[in-house]
């Protein structure tokens, strides 16, 4: 029976490359001169650190541009609140969401049941959702429907079996 898995993953190497590129760019840009702006990564948490709110917004734009260029979806970013740091500086922590939470999995299953073609079934398996159907065309219709829906997380479709 044809099936595929819905997952929400991020390529950690691409995230690291994007952060390295952004760090290189801010070290050479004139508007970041003498601002001690940094982007640091610890696993899936990214910390932006700079002197003012407007420089933080510019830092955010640079990071987002690099992530998009490297193929990392911005839907998976969870922007934390802006904190005041030492010596009149500001800091913001960005976490990258990975995996499908049980609430999102329920939402995906409900959407497939309501809007999907007849004969398509889905079930949650940990942080993935497996979708099965007798027809491959129905599975492709479900993929198209989920790509068009705004669920707030990046979705990838893998493990397609015929």
Tens-digit pLDDT profile for residues 108-123: 999 999 988 888 999 9
Query: Looking at the domain that runs over 3-8+99-161, which CATH code has it been given?
Result: 3.30.70.860
Interval 32-48 mean pLDDT = 91
Residue-wise pLDDT tens digits, 48-98: 999 988 999 999 999 999 999 999 989 889 999 998 888 888 999 999 988
Report CA-CA distances (Å) from 83 to 25, 46, 59, 76, 119: 24, 14, 15, 21, 50
Q: What is the pLDDT of residue 60?
A: 94
pTM: 0.82
- Same CATH topology for 3-8+99-161 and 12-96: the answer is yes
| Residue 15 confidence class, pLDDT cut points 50, 70, 90 | very high
- Predicted pLDDT of residue 56: 92
pLDDT at position 58 is 93
CATH number of 12-96: 3.30.70.990
Strand order in the sheet with 128-132: 121-125, 128-132, 3-7, 156-161
What ranges do the domains of the chain cover? 3-8+99-161, 12-96
pLDDT for residue 143: 92
pLDDT more than 70, % of the chain: 100
């Amino acid at each position: 029976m044809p099936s595929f898995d819905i997952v929400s993953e991020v390529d950690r190497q691409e995230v690291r490359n994007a952060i390295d590129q952004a760090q290189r760019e801010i070290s050479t840009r004139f508007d970041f001169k003498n601002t001690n702006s940094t982007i640091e990564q610890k696993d899936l948490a990214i910390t932006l650190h700079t002197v003012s709110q407007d420089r933080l917004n510019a830092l955010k734009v640079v990071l987002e541009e690099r992530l998009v260029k490297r193929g990392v979806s911005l839907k998976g970013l969870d922007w934390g609140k802006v904190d005041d740091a030492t010596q009149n500086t500001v800091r913001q922590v960005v976490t990258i969401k990975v995996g499908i939470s049980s609430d999102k999995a329920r939402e995906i299953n409900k959407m497939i049941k309501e809007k999907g073609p007849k004969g398509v079934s889905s079930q949650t398996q940990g942080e993935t959702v497996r979708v099965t159907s007798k027809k491959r065309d129905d599975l492709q219709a479900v993929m198209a429907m989920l790509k068009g829906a705004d669920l707030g997380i990046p979705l990838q479709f893998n493990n397609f079996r015929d």
